[in-house]
Amino acid sequence: MAKQYQVDSRVRFVNRMMARMIRWHIAPARTYLMTVLGRKTGKPYSTPVTLVERDGNRWLVSPYGEVNWVKNARAAGEVSLLRNGKTETLKIEELSPVESAPILKEYITAVGIVRPYFDAQPDSPLQDFEAEAPNHPVFLLEER
């Protein structure tokens, strides 16, 4: 059974440190500071994210499930990404489970820290990721 995600003081600390690293241009590859407007407040909320990037396409993965940024992004229909001093605002399109499966597999292969939150593991077949996709939304990022 996959681990349940909870925001605690350790998570908040790591997110603050990662946000600083992104702003200081020393973050790991494919790591961005994502900002999305709150669906109820309209306030901007930011969190570090790691994208899947392949063949000129980029995908945003929620390894922790239906967290607030996912709900806010769905409502807004777009997110802003900051990296290397450049901010871009992109439309999002949520993928189906079949479309999500290979992206999820690639994501947990590259981002090992999230593996406890998945039942499927890097060597699992795509069908396992397809079954898991409803618990881990994936969004295609597109130019506005």
Q: How many CB atoms lie within 10 A of CB 19?
A: 16
Whether the model pTM is above 0.85? yes
Model confidence band, residue 18 (pLDDT cutoffs 50, 70, 90): confident
Beta bridge partners of 123: none
- Are the C-beta atoms of 18 and 32 separated by less than 8 Å? no
How confident is the model over 112-123, as a mean pLDDT?
A: 92
Query: pLDDT value at position 41?
Result: 95
pLDDT at 6: 60
Structure-token match 């669906």, residue found: 39
46 by Cβ neighbours in 10 Å (0-12 / 13-18 / 19+) ranks as middle
pLDDT digits (tens, 9 = 90+) for 62-116: 999 999 999 999 999 999 999 999 999 999 999 999 999 999 999 999 998 889 9
Residue 91: how many other CB atoms lie within 10 Å = 14
